[in-house]
Structure 1
Amino acid sequence: MIKIAMIEDDLELAEVLCQYLKQFHIEVTNFEEPFLALCDLKIHKYDLIILDLTLPGMDGLDVCKKIVDDFDIPIIISSARSDITDKVTALKLGADDYLPKPYDPRELEVRIKTILRRFNHSKIEDEDKTSKNFLLDEEKREITKNKNYLKLTAAEYEILSLLIKRESFIVSREDIFENSDILNQDYENSGSLAVIINRIRNKIEDNPKEPKYLQTIRGMGYKFLQ
């Protein structure tokens, strides 16, 4: 489990991000007050910091400098400040990335894992080298089963990669269409999603009629298990 400390005084946003990242095995502890976060960092170990710049009691840039000076931990700035000076200053202070609000939580998840891979983070390496049957390589847009590459169409890859990333969680039909660059309303109206799901099952299941990995949750969507 990846552990992240988030310093964010927008509690509604913090809750959304915490719940979203949880499905990717990322545990987030949010601190509304920067002083509380700095105290906690002396006690508990985190893999990464997500830091807002507009905070009560202490400016986010000062918090960034304090973290860089006192701790060896990567920092992603998450801020609504539009002044380029703030971005430049944060990066010069030692922040590893700057994500302007508003942003899609999917982008945050990707940036987190990209930064941790760059730091040769053991938890990311362990996650990528697990004994799971299926492994997803987003950079190469490839999926393997038992180290054998699956021959997938673009639509099949999009759907299966989404389900793998949200392993053990139910993914609705609407969510699949929303997260797809290929699928569109024509697919939805024609029922082709079910056809694509069946094609995927024929390629990954030992018995497609009794799916073990890609399960249909009636009335809710699909779930991927391994």
Structure 2
Amino acid sequence: MPWKVLIADDDPNVREIVRLYFRQQLIELIEAPDGVSALAMLAELKPDIVILDVMMPGLDGFETCREITKRYDVPVIMLTAKNDEFDRVLGLELGADDYMTKPFSPRELVARIKAIFRRMQKGQPSIEVDAPSHYEFDDLVIHVTRREVIANSTKIDLRPKEFELLAFFAKSPGSVFKREQLLEQVWGYDFLGDMRTVDVHIKKLREKLSHCHNVCIHTVWGVGYKFEVEACT
């Protein structure tokens, strides 16, 4: 079965370029001219990943992303014509897994999609086969095989990339990782993404783990991040 990708973009030229390149890569493409159509197609056709243009008439990419992340557990890549950090950060904070700035290379887009599919594997855990089935840090339990996180006996809802980031940190408490390493190990590509992608996901993960008193993700200035246990002062 080929991968199934939904793209929502009101520019037919962009959709045609993507369609032709995807055809060479044996990726099935579903095309939507706007956000409303994309939501309808998402419910009916159940794509594996969604690509959203930010600037669309009616329901724009941000609102479409907000609706998708509320209803579905599917990776989202945002496309923006603006080289504006605010747009990029907003898309990530709404739940997008990645973003690209127009004009973009179809080859790079496919590389990012392939990276997401490699990590996602249809909902299977994106870790080594011989890794533990769970990690337990007092009031925080990470169930790897079930992709669940329990904090203070309460289940925490994490986006796929947030879970994979936390599971990666949990393998090596106290170790410091550069942003480049996190992009490569968690996102699955070697510095194709923007460092801000990592920063925003770290911010969201910290917010969701804020009531866990014995674990935290520290910033190591000038280097990167580290996951620490019982060092959260």
TM-score, L = length of structure 2: 0.51
The match for 2:95 is 94
Contact 2:55 2:61 survives alignment (8 Å) = yes
Counterparts of 1:23 and 1:57 in 2: how far apart (Å)?
A: 32
Counterparts of 2:68 and 2:24 in 1: how far apart (Å)?
A: 27
Residue identity opposite 1:120 in structure 2 = Q
Residues 49-96 of structure 1 show CA distances to partners (whole Å, capped at 9, x for unaligned) of 010000010121111110100111101111112221111111111101
Q: For 1:206-225, what aligned pairs fall within 5 Å after superposition?
A: none
The match for 1:16 is 17
The match for 1:221 is none
Residues 82-134 of structure 1 show CA distances to partners (whole Å, capped at 9, x for unaligned) of 22111111111110111111111110010000011111238xx9xxxxxxxxx
Counterparts of 1:11 and 1:110 in 2: how far apart (Å)?
A: 22
Contact 1:53 1:81 survives alignment (8 Å) = no
Counterparts of 2:44 and 2:121 in 1: how far apart (Å)?
A: 23
The match for 1:74 is 75
CA RMSD after TM alignment: 1.8
Residue identity opposite 1:70 in structure 2 = R
Aligned-residue identity in percent: 39
The match for 1:48 is 49
Q: Structure 2: which 5+ residue stretches go unaligned?
A: 127-233
Residues 177-203 of structure 1 show CA distances to partners (whole Å, capped at 9, x for unaligned) of xxxxxxxxxxxxxxxxxxxxxxxxxxx
Counterparts of 1:59 and 1:40 in 2: how far apart (Å)?
A: 16
Count of residues paired in the alignment: 124
Counterparts of 2:69 and 2:105 in 1: how far apart (Å)?
A: 26
Secondary structure of 2:121's aligned partner: coil
Contact 1:53 1:78 survives alignment (8 Å) = yes
The match for 2:224 is none
> Offset at 1:33?
2.0
Greater Rg by CA: 1
Secondary structure of 1:66's aligned partner: helix
Instruction: Return structure 1 stretches of 4+ with deviation > 3 angstroms.
Output: none
Residue identity opposite 1:19 in structure 2 = L
Contact 1:9 1:33 survives alignment (8 Å) = yes
Contact 1:21 1:28 survives alignment (8 Å) = yes
